[in-house]
Structure 1
Amino acid sequence: MDDFLPLSALQHYAYCPRQFALIHIEQAWAENRYTAEGRILHERVDSGVAEQRKDVRFERSVMLRSEHLRLTGKLDLLEVHGSERFVPVEYKRGKPKLVDWDRIQVCAQALCIEEMRSIQVTEGAIWYWEVRRRELVALSPDLRNLTLSMIENCHSLIELGQTPKPISDNSRCRACSLRDLCGPDRFRRDNSVRYARELFEF
């Protein structure tokens, strides 16, 4: 059985563990404007060909895999500077975020490259389509530890095979394409546990 985790799943888990479980355990999916724009963007990126500019080689749609972390996926762009400096670049449709959802995915890509090439990757980048800007991602020890923790949590949740309840931050639900399938408001209004507890108390 192939128990490898898609690299993109880490961003799903970091955003919302319930979203992650709906997609990667229940195999549910729905598309909205944001996912459609993201898909179109990646199709454009994937259609590009490798090229060389001076001492930098640009490789597109690079397949990555980590046997140790049980990860696999496709990298949008790999910049190879000379023969030793590798920079993974992820394309996102939105804009830079204060939280690390996107950075975790880039860090996981770097971990795969390090294992595959036996090198050290010190930085990555994210290109945001909405603002047409590139954000550098320093692969710090803190980000690496957070990413490793997320990878472990993802594998554990898949092995458990259970979909968790919605997160308390309902502002994330508005942009989620799975909102109708998830039904977060129904779960938040569910008072059955409190009702049962009060029933036995009296």
Structure 2
Amino acid sequence: MIRVSWVSPEYGSLAGVNSLESRAINTRPAHPIQPAPSMSSHDAVRAGLAPLLGRLWRYGIVLSGSRDAAEDLVQATCLRALEKAHQFTPGTRLDRWLFTILHSIWLNEIRAARYRRGAGLVDAETALVFDGIKAIEANISAGQVLRRVQALPEAQRETVFLVYVEGLTYREAAETLGVPIGTVMSRLAGARTRLAGLNHDTAVREEDDDR
């Protein structure tokens, strides 16, 4: 298991997993986080990192299905982002840059170390946070959707998350995942077909339960 201290000499104490869960509000961001072009790369990353912790944790859950793996992914992503802050261009989307780092760490380090589903497994609804009375109904609905999304193959699951949950364009998702746009479109089409089948099966089961 990868263990990285949350305390960085450059950034200070970030947060533990409980704080990450409290930030993981399951709504598509209204406005992508784009630090001002006038900021230095390092300052832009430092300023924008903390507000994105919850979304990074949620992406880690989608990829790994494991609470511990998601925590490790966020920790490693934060430290990697600070180390490589000079590579970030202020004025561009920080969230997509961080998603790309997290995805790379997942593919090359954590998944490669066979850190997959098992101990610490958390389902989609557990990863959601109820942010007031008005959000309860929306969260329940999103939880049901994410539960079905978790049943998709990994490639389709991560693509659906980036496009439909995080609101990335096909091109942005393709660049984040390191695949052609056509692959993104193909994965989404396959996911829609699978989800339609899952919805049909669920409806049939519910109809049988009502009898």
TM-score computed with the length of structure 2 as normaliser:
0.29
Q: Which has more helix, going by share of residues?
A: 2
Give 1 or 2 for the bigger CA radius of gyration.
1
